[in-house]
Structure formats: structure tokens, C-alpha cells
Structure 1
């Protein structure tokens, strides 16, 4: 099992998750906030063509996550999974695309992968994040959540790898030129996770299997890689866990999960 990012941030998000078993392999894309050509270019950088994708899985309807989903899916005949609430927000864009609904508690079997959606607090219609497994390894994904909940902490425990939002540094956001309403939205209970909040979530998780943590969805104006990395390191129980930071322009290359 392995995963890679096409880019992570307010200008666009897309994560690839791949697994193989014997002669078969499965790759899905979690969100797609880039245009068709840009997505194809970023896939090629990771050695993939659109035809290699078995599906696109959507977290919520904000444009940096869903902006390119339906045009790309329609062009390349790729099925899309999303919550019904998200569908209600984007239904006008879904014509000509094969749609599957999912919700918290479901188990999505897509080839060699199984994905489990779980609800998160965010200012969208029915936002969900995902746990992915090939039956041996587990990858947890948590971006676009305003706060921790017992439910998401339970969902993410025992992962081998974790992609965790570190959107902003609270002091940088407070001192930024953003209007007060935007600051309140970002830092609120249904906004985005601060470095401190992400560290608190990480510290609360079962880290017994954790080998990789990737800080994701960093604000270009209200955070730095150094601050996000420091916060994540402070919450780790084991020295063997590696911390990385996802980039908006480059994402990150394939990360393999193995014993």
C-alpha cells in the first residue's frame, strides 16, 4: 500500500491511495481541486495516467477539493463516491458521471482497497474524511475539520500513516490582515485545524503502529513548515515516526507502507 499527493492547500487538493494484491492493483484519488490538464500533469509526474484510477472519493464540496472532480471524472469515465449532503451541493455538476453515495459508518470496497468514511466538523453540507486499508496497513486522512471529536479520534487510532491538517498557527492568523469574519471562520469550530489542535489530536491517538505523519493543507499566509513540523513532533510518542509536510505545488512523492 502507498500514497502520494498531487498538492495540498487552499489552491487545490488531491491525494492518491494505491494498493496491490497478486496480479491486481487499485488506485483511487481522494478529492480533486485541480483542472483537467493540471491533474493529468501532476499524475504524470507520479508515473500515472488517468486510466489507472478506479475511482474518485470526495470529502466535501469546497472548490479546493471538488473543483476538478466532475470534469475529470466525466472526461475519463471514472466513478465518484461522495456523501448525499455533498451531492446536494454539487448535483448540477454531476451530469454524465457515475455517482455512488457513502456516509459515516460505511465500508467502501474498491478493488484492493477498503475505505471507511467518518464525519468531521466543518462548514460544509455533509463533510467526511476517510480511513483507507488494504487489509494489512491503514492510512488515516483528516483535513478540513475545525476541532477534535471523540468520533474522529476513534476512527484514526492505530494507523500506520496519517495525513493530518495543520492549517494555521493561531498567532499568525490573529495577527494577519484577514478580516475578522474570515479569521473567525478559519479558527472556529467548523473551520480548519490549527497546529496546536492537530498536535492535540495526534497526542490522543493510538500511535503504536504509526510510522509516517504528513502535515497537510498548510496556509501559505498563516503558517510555516517549521511551525507545523514542530507541533507534530511535540505530540509523537515514538522516535521512529517520521514527520513530513505536504506542499501545495509539489504535493509529495509516493510513500510506501510496509513492516
Structure 2
């Protein structure tokens, strides 16, 4: 059995990632509206009735904007840390609030979700790895540095959402004020293209079939630019840029090695190869 994955949106305007099998699915973050989440899932043929929980990585608005309405409408449990709940000023039904920590895996139907801490300027930020049988999917965005936690989990993944937020030269020469540039590249902000590429080159497992480059900056990055960086190192891994405007296609991830022929396409407003 495979896992289905898609990015419903990825960027500073909203983040939401879907991972599921035939009967159970979870959302990682809910940073777009409930209505837009429904629309994008419907276009993909995905059903809300198999979504069993939402996991929240941290309290920034682009990760929680649609959470309250989505949880209330579908009576969805929300896995969140107490400090993230407090600092996000979230008004959730206490019946649906579930606390997680980095020490205890969470079982959601046939899925197991592992959380681990990361370097980001939020109160209790976490990344996630979602497992089903021997299949492992990582959601690794909003990361200031490629710490040992990130590397050890990345090395286990059959597929991953990996942040490639900015090009160093575009950020340096761009319109952002100095304090914001410092925040982005200061070790608790975001991963650059070059940092993400180093993680991929040095730590990609041989069995990784898909990499979805995520959380690209609108002002300090370009899909074509980051793909040009990754293309020579892709091997048999299909690399896709997750859009900040539309959902990606659904990718079926298996633990059995697959032959993926690198290519370059323009699908649903996104470049992939």
C-alpha cells in the first residue's frame, strides 16, 4: 500500500500539506482558509471524511489561519503544543485539542506521526515525519538551520517536503529591510536554496523517490532557479516545486524502490523534473 501526498499550498501566504492512505489522512498545518482547503482537495479527488487530524508545527499565521474553522466544521482533533496554542491565540473547542510532544509518536488510524523540534523563531516549533508500514514522509519547513534532527529524519524518508525559501543573492539585493533579511538568514528563520541543496546532496537516502521543495519566497526565489540547482543532483528522485498559489498533483509514495526518470514539466502552474 502507498501513501498519497500533496501540498495544498506552500509559502508565506499559507501552508497545508496532506498525507494519507486509502482510509486515514492527516493535514500538517492549516494555513489557508477552510473553503480553499475544501476546493483544492475536491479538485484532487480527496475527501475530507478520511482526514482524521490536523498537526500544527508552530503558531505563525501562515500555518494556522484556517485552523479554527476547519477543526470546528469537521470536528477534527488538533495536535498542538500548549505554548503554540497560547501564542497562536487560538479559540479551539477543548474537546478537539490534543497535546503532542517530541518523545511520543501519535497513532492516527494506520498512520504514525513523529514530531521533532527544529530551529525557528516560534515558541515551540516542530517538524513531522509520517509513517505507514515502512513508508516515511517528512514535512520539513520553516527551519533556520539544517540541524541534526532534520538530517537524521531526512535520511529515513521515501519522500519529503523540504524548505528552499530563498536565494542568497536575491535576498541580499532585494527590497526587504535589513532586520527582516537578518531574521530570515539568522539561524532561526528559513533554509536557503544552498542549505537545502546541501541537505539533499549529502543526506538523501538512495530510496527517496520524491522531493517537494517548499515554502519558496515570492520575492527572494524563483522556481526555475531552485530547480536549476537541484536538477544535476536529482538522480532518480523526482523533484517538484510546491506552489504558493495552487495545489500540487497527488504523488503516490511506496516503500518499494521505483524507477523515476527525471524530467521537466509544467503542471498545474508548477515546474517539476
Pairwise same-fold verdict (TM > 0.5) = yes
Q: Check conservation: 1:168, 1:223, Cα contact below 8 A.
A: yes
* Pairing 1:195–2:197 present: no
Q: How does 1:54-203 map to 2 (within 5 A)?
A: 54-95=52-93, 98-203=96-201
Distance 2:10 2:58 in 1: 15
Residue aligned with 2:107, SS: strand
In structure 2, the residue matched to 1:2 is 4
Alignment partners' CA distance in 2, 1:92 and 1:15: 20
* 1:48-89 alpha-carbon deviations (Å, 9 max, x no partner): 343331011111111111111122101111111112321221
For residue 182 of structure 1, report the CA deviation from its aligned partner.
0.8
Of the structure 1 ranges 43-52 and 209-218, higher mean CA displacement relative to structure 2 is found in: 43-52
Gapped regions of structure 2 (runs ≥ 5):
257-273
SS of 1:144's partner is coil
C-alpha contact 2:60 2:88 (8 A) present in aligned 1: no
Task: Say yes or no: does 1:214 pair with 2:216.
Answer: no
**Which residue is equivalent to 2:14?**
12
Q: Is the CA contact (8 Å cut-off) linking 1:199 and 1:234 kept in structure 2?
A: no
- Structural RMSD (CA): 1.5
Which residue is 1:41 aligned to?
39
Q: How many residue pairs are counted as aligned between the two chains? A: 253
Q: Distance in 2 between matches of 1:99 and 1:138?
A: 25
For residue 131 of structure 1, report the CA deviation from its aligned partner: 0.7
Cα distance in 1, alignment partners of residues 71 and 109 from structure 2: 18
Q: Is the 8 A contact 2:8 2:15 kept in 1?
A: yes
Describe the superposition over 1:161-208 as per-residue Cα deviations: whole angstroms up to 9, x where unpaired: 111001000100011111111111111100011000111122232412
Map of 2:270 onto structure 1 = none
Do the aligned partners of 1:78 and 1:97 also contact (CA within 8 Å) in 2? Answer: no
Task: Write out per-residue CA displacement over residues 226-246 of structure 1, whole angstroms, 9 at most, x where no aligned residue.
Answer: 22113333555xx21111111
Runs of 4+ in 1 over 6 A off after TM superposition: none
CA distance in 2: counterparts of 1:203 and 1:88, whole angstroms:
38
Please give the TM-score of this superposition, normalised by the length of structure 1. Answer: 0.93
Bigger drift between 76-85 and 166-175 goes to: 76-85
Q: CA contact under 8 A between 1:153 and 1:204: conserved in structure 2?
A: no
The runs of 5 or more residues in structure 1 that have no matched partner are none
